Structure 1
Amino acid sequence: MPNYRDDLDRVFHALSDPTRRALIERLVRGPASVSELARPFEMALPSLLQHLGVLERAGLVTSTKVGRVRTFQLAVDALTPGADWIGRQRLPAERRLDRLGDFLTPDNTKEN
């Protein structure tokens, strides 16, 4: 299980940065070259490449290089481990809230 936890840590770390989340949002629409990805950001290209490297090491994106052009794309099912983990945490919390709701709801079956 340590590998799962390490992988999940890398995913959440990668998604903790707003620039990296914006890159993911762009890549949801399809593959893009580094220069295309860099266009909306006011940062040096090496800084953007560092962000892309974090995303790639986390397994969220993959890249291919043809000639001098590197293109990034969202990895298939890249966000599934994070979504699964969040879902598993939400279920027990929802059950607790349901029990609290049951406790706070007046019992309408009692006669006055």
Structure 2
Amino acid sequence: MYTPIPIKRSSRYGNNYWVSFSRKLNRNVRLFSDLEYDHLVIVETNPLITSFCEQPLRIHQQMDEGIVETIFDMWTLDRDGIETFVEVKYAQELDPRNPKSFRQGQG
């Protein structure tokens, strides 16, 4: 089980801020984009997912441009005990042909 990493609302994370009550967790969940909120709706309504945590884990990874830090958007646990870390992105952010792509050196 994870605990959400505290992130200041004014930080560089996210373009919209949501606070939504989770019936699965019986607590408020903080989200930093419309896409994260949409993903929450899917997680909340999926009966196979038994638990989750938003912003559960900060990692550091060696990339071509050096050490990159990221916080996963969500961790989920399903009925079979399978744990998944999720990073939600719009498809255009991952398209290397898009000059504004996340993968074009924006970290």
Greater gyration radius:
1
- More strand per residue: 1 or 2? 2
Q: TM-score, normalised by structure 1?
A: 0.22
Determine which structure has greater relative contact order: mean sequence separation of CA pairs < 8 Å that are 6+ residues apart, divided by chain length. 1
- More helix per residue: 1 or 2? 1
